[in-house]
């Protein structure tokens, strides 16, 4: 079987803005052939970071050359700090210096930081240049490269300035994950298992058995996990592109996670995915505490996360010490907060998440105090 036949495509169905997410091996080598139909001028503008460039840029250049595409590349420092106004200015001015035109193509080659920043830049330079995502972390393959959310951070918080701007194509090459540090694989797995908890109980059950193989990079397990996750994200985004309803379910665990990340100072101590893992456990614990979910289901979720090696005990979580009152005040700043009432994604059980507005902060405080006692 050729590599091409091996790869699977998941369609993100958004009318005129529809696109494919191709998942498979050897996609960097094929990138030129797959991208060429989208690049009439046969010239692409690659935005990447130092770590990705070091490990994979030659392979991407080779794939583009093979199809007669020329490219220019900007290599940015790795890390969340790059997703800033300064980073945005940098990329936009680079694209303009390189004489990007409306019908050119920007290639976001990296994790979620590069995807969010390059996507946003593509969305505003010359009022919009097409872009392609080549996600290189598990998190970006299962989550951030699909769905068209782009943003930078401001001093007031994460992702506060951005656009909905869909890519024309996503190439998720499983091979590139081979160089990703285990800790980053784990961070991406938290977002992967999340889809099972939202509305696919059978996928969560599969994860309970296969999760360790996914994180270890077992090809078959990884391929299935990425495909199922991307299908789930594509389905949810297609039903609600701009997060008026169902797309909010993707924030399962995230109200807690964002409060933890803010408390921890958005540094290397606590990665987003690590915060999401605890957040998933806490969302189920809160659901159980509010009498919405069988406590055995909440225990099952926490058991899987702990078996995978995540810290779900707030007293031991890196980046602390955490404090219930401070976390509640961070939650009050959450984008989902409407007129002061807290909105949470809660669950009636594994695979049965729902949006709950008007959650009593007292219930959240009681949970956090119990977890921190």
List residues near ligand NAD by CB under 6 A.
49, 51-52, 55, 78-80, 83, 110-114, 116, 136-137, 139-140, 143-144, 147, 149, 158-159, 176, 179-180, 184, 187, 272
Is 34 assigned a catalytic role?
Answer: no
Q: Is 42 a catalytic residue?
A: no
Known catalytic residue at 56: no
Is residue 9 within 8 Å of 21, Cβ to Cβ? yes
272 is catalytic: yes
Region class of 104: left (phi > 0), else alpha (psi between -120 and 50), else beta:
beta
In the residue annotation, 254 being an active-site residue is answered as yes
- Burial readout 197-219 (b: 16 or more C-beta within 10 A, e: otherwise): bbbbeebbebbbebbeebbebee
**Nearest residue to ligand NAD, by Cβ distance, number only:** 112
Q: Per DSSP, what are the bridge partners of residue 135?
A: 110
Q: For 145, which DSSP code? A: T
CB of 270 to ligand NAD, least distance (A): 12
Closer to ligand NAD by CB, 166 or 312: give it: 166
Q: What residues pair up with 108 in beta bridges, in sequence order? A: 47, 133
Which residue among the candidates 208, 243, 274, 371 is catalytic per the annotation? 243
Cβ proximity to ligand NAD: between 144 and 263 the closer is 144
Compute the C-alpha angle 57/131/185, nearest 5°: 55
**Rounded distance between C-alpha atoms, residue 51 and residue 68, angstroms:** 26
Considering the candidates 43, 83, 227, 233, report the single residue annotated as catalytic.
233
Closer by beta carbon to ligand NAD, 79 or else 320: 79
CB 105 within 8 A of CB 19: no
Q: How far is the CB of 226 from ligand NAD (least distance, A)?
A: 13
The one catalytic residue among 34, 56, 227, 247: 247
Distance CA 327, CA 320 (A): 11
How far apart CA 302 and CA 195 sit, in angstroms, is 15
Q: Which of 83, 254, 302, 304 is catalytic?
A: 254
CB of 289 to ligand NAD, least distance (A): 27
CB of 170: closest distance to ligand NAD in angstroms?
12
* Cβ(198)–Cβ(250) below 8 Å: yes
**Do β-strands 157-164 and 149-154 pair in parallel, antiparallel, or remain unpaired?**
antiparallel
Q: Is there a catalytic annotation at residue 365? A: no
Helices within 98-176 (DSSP H only): 112-124, 138-139
| Shorter beta-carbon distance to ligand NAD: residue 172 or 298 | 172
Question: In the annotation, is 304 catalytic?
Answer: no
243 noted as active-site residue: yes
**Cβ proximity of 175 and 28 under 8 Å:** yes
- Please state the closest distance from residue 338 (CB atom) to ligand NAD, in A: 21
Task: Give whichever of 164 and 354 is closer to ligand NAD, judged by the CB atom.
Answer: 164
191 given a catalytic annotation: yes
Nearer to ligand NAD, 31 or 368 (CB): 31
Closest approach, Cβ 110 to ligand NAD, in A, equals 5
Supply the residues annotated as catalytic.
127, 149, 191, 233, 243, 247, 251, 254, 258, 272
């Amino acid at each position: 079987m050729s590599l091409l036949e091996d790869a699977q495509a998941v369609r993100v169905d958004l009318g005129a803005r529809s696109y494919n997410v191709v998942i498979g091996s050897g996609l960097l080598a094929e990138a030129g052939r797959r991208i060429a139909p989208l690049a009439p001028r046969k010239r692409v503008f690659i935005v990447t970071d130092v770590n990705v460039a070091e490990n994979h840029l030659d392979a991407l250049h080779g794939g583009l050359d093979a199809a007669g595409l020329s490219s220019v590349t900007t290599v940015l420092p790795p890390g969340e700090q790059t997703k800033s106004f300064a980073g945005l200015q940098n990329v936009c001015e680079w694209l303009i210096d390189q004489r990007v035109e409306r019908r050119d193509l920007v290639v976001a080659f990296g994790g979620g930081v590069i995807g969010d920043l390059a996507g946003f830049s593509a969305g505003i330079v010359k009022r919009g240049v097409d872009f392609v995502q080549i996600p290189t972390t598990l998190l970006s393959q299962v989550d951030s490269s699909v769905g068209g959310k782009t943003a930078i951070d401001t001093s007031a918080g994460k992702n506060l300035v951005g656009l909905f701007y869909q890519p024309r194509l996503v190439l998720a090459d499983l091979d590139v994950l081979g160089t990703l540090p285990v800790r980053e694989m784990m961070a991406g797995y938290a977002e992967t298992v999340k889809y099972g908890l939202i509305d696919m109980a059978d996928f969560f059950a599969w994860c309970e058995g296969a999760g360790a193989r996914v994180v270890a990079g077992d090809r078959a397990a990884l391929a299935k996990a990425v495909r199922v996750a991307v299908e789930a994200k594509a389905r949810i985004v297609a039903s609600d592109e701009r997060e008026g309803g169902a797309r909010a379910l993707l924030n399962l665990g995230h109200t807690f996670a964002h409060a933890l990340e803010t408390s921890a100072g958005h540094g290397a101590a606590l990665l987003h995915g690590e915060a999401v893992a605890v957040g998933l456990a806490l969302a189920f614990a809160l659901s159980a505490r509010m009498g919405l979910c069988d406590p055995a289901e909440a225990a099952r979720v926490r058991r899987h996360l702990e078996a995978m090696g995540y810290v779900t005990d707030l007293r031991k979580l890196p980046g602390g010490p955490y404090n219930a009152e401070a976390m509640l005040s961070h939650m009050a700043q959450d984008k989902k907060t409407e007129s002061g009432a807290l909105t949470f994604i809660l669950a009636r059980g594994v695979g049965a998440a729902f949006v709950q507005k008007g959650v009593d902060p007292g219930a959240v405080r009681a949970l956090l105090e119990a977890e921190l006692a």
